[in-house]
Amino acid sequence: MSTTPPSSLPPTPAADNPDAPLARNPIAFAQNFIHDLLAWPWLQTLHTFRQRFREEKLGLTAGSLTFTTLISLVPLLTVMLAVFTAFPMFSSFQAALEQYFLKSLIPPNIAKPVLASLTQFAAKANRLGVVGLVVLGITALALMLTIDRTLNAIWRVQRPRPMAQRVLVYWAALTLGPLLLGGSLTLTSYAVSAGQGFIGKMPASVSTLLGGADIVLLGLAMAGLFHYVPNTHVRWRHALLGGVFVSIGFALAKSLLAWYVKKVPTYSTLYGAFATVPVFLVWVYLGWVIVLLGAILAANTPSLTGRLHLRPGTPGQPMALALETLRELQRARDGGQRGLSHLRLARALRVDPLQLSPVLDQLQAMDWIGLLEEDGAQRLVLLCAPETTPAEPLISVFLAGRQGLLANLWRQGDWAGLTLQQLLVTEAGNRPS
């Protein structure tokens, strides 16, 4: 099949490169971000939270992540302390990192005893042998792999990245992440302390804004998590929206939990000196719930802003979506377009992009469609010729295979002789309104 020379192809539309405004014009990106917030469908968002949280069983997932976090905290802290110990020049980074966790991630009522215990356990873990250190490393990576699997499930990604690639990326994040975070926190603390006299003369709102740098750092870290971890293309504006939700949610939840523990001494009365443990477990669980809700928000932003809804899960619905996808990409190719982005295709079909993703993965696995990337823009293109392509593989994957009694459908229905073009022509008049 011949292809058109790149020089004669029309330019890629700017809409197909969703992050172009961020790279070229940050002001326009911020304006679009604020516009999305003002026009946001809040009631539909609450319905989506409830629906996806129940469908994905994210309450159980948050409990699983809480347990994995609990057993992974000591190995993670051991690796971080080993990095800081190996480079004494980064000792100030370690202090800044500890202050960040004390101030930002954990309510002050439980921060100091928890961090002191974890540091003590991590110091003892350094005495382990090679086998013990390997087990600690595997335990630390288990948390990251659990996060990877959970986020891919929220984005409905069926094919995660290869294991070796994930391990290398997470190990780099585990070792370099604390240094980068500690360095940024150190520079931020130095800038704020150096300008204390200037800040004192500024309005209270500006001073508060500068003091909330930890909230910004947490939001950016969560945005990076949502953008890079799922094995699919996630827009930066959607990832940043999820990161903002998580950072604000953390700040509110931390204040509420600290107020509750202080005003309602239930745990102290029941558990005494042991009260830090259940409060810490509640906080970790609540933190993971906030993170998962932020991931749901980032994943469902395209459907929320585009007023795209899930289609009913009726029999044959994946087959119908596959046919509509192939027909839309055929129209784009016949019209001289260089393919369609995932979001543009979902809008053309008026379907939730997350519901469309599994269908696209199957069609890509069949090599009927391809995903091209150029200048940061990802485009789906049709690779097959519908006039000569047998429809048998499509029917086998999406409708009925030839095993068992289903083979009678093939013999009686003469499906093997159909071409893809025949199905597209037959289905053209049945497009949902």
296 within domain boundaries: yes
Q: Are 322 and 289 part of one and the same domain?
A: no
Residues 360 and 289 both lie in one domain = no
What pLDDT does 160 receive? 80
Kindly state whether residues 57 and 160 are assigned to the same domain: yes
Examine residue 30 and state whether it is found in any structural domain, yes or no: no
Instruction: Encode pLDDT of 205-256 as tens digits.
Output: 544 554 566 678 788 888 988 988 888 888 888 999 999 999 999 888 888 8
Is residue 78 very low, low, confident or very high in pLDDT (cuts 50, 70, 90)? low
**224 and 284 share a domain?**
yes
Among 305, 340, 370, residue at a domain's last position: 305
Whole-number pLDDT of residue 94: 57
pTM for the structure as a whole: 0.70
**What is the pLDDT, as a whole number, of residue 326?**
94
Same domain, 128 and 158: yes
What does the pLDDT read at residue 123? 60
Distance between CA atoms of residues 128 and 137, nearest Å? 12
List the structure tokens of 208: 């508060």
Distance of CA 175 to CAs 128, 135, 147, 221, 349, Å? 19, 17, 17, 15, 44
Rounded Cα distance, 355 and 398, in Å: 14
Q: What is the pLDDT of residues 129-159, one digit of tens each?
A: 566 667 766 776 777 888 888 888 899 887 8
Q: Identify the domain boundary among 305, 332, 365.
A: 305
Residue 365: give its domain's CATH number.
1.10.10.10
CA pair distance 23, 237, nearest whole angstrom:
12
- Residue 339 sits in the same domain as residue 195: no
Shared domain for 204 and 348, answered yes or no, is no
Quick one: pLDDT at residue 310?
78
**Measured between alpha carbons, how far is 156 from 258 in angstroms, rounded to an integer?**
35
Encode pLDDT of 386-433 as tens digits: 999 999 999 988 988 888 888 887 877 778 788 999 888 854 444 444
Total domains in the chain come to 2
Residue 28 in any domain: the answer is: no
Whether residue 299 sits in one domain with residue 183: yes
pLDDT at 198: 44
Residue at a domain's end among 245, 271, 305? 305
Residue 322 pLDDT: 93
Q: What is the span of the domain harbouring residue 341?
A: 314-430
Q: Do 318 and 290 belong together in one domain?
A: no
> Considering the chain, what percentage of its residues have pLDDT values greater than 90?
15
| 29 lies in some domain | no
Taking CA atoms, 50 is separated from 44, 294, 391, in Å, by 10, 13, 39
Strongest mean pLDDT among 211-225, 251-265, 280-294: 280-294
Q: pLDDT value at position 343?
A: 86
* Rg of the Cα atoms in the chain: 26
DSSP per position, 114-178: HHHHHHHHHHHHTT--HHHHHHHHHHHHHHHHHHHHHHHHHTT-SSPPPHHHHHHHHHHHHHHHH
Considering the domain architecture, whether residues 345 and 213 belong to the same structural domain is answered as: no
Q: How far apart are CA 429 and CA 432, in angstroms?
A: 9
Q: Of the ranges 29-43, 258-272, 314-328, which is most confident?
A: 314-328
Whether residue 17 contacts residue 376, with contact meaning beta carbons closer than 8 Å, is answered with: yes
Q: Looking at 19-23, 70-74, 198-202, 213-217, which range is the least confident one?
A: 198-202
Q: Are residues 320 and 289 in the same domain?
A: no
Range with lowest mean pLDDT among 54-58, 132-136, 236-240, 349-353: 132-136
- Residue with the bigger pLDDT between 142 and 93: it is 142
- Higher pLDDT among residues 261 and 200, named by residue: 261
Domain co-membership, 318 together with 282: no
Amino acid 4: pLDDT: 40
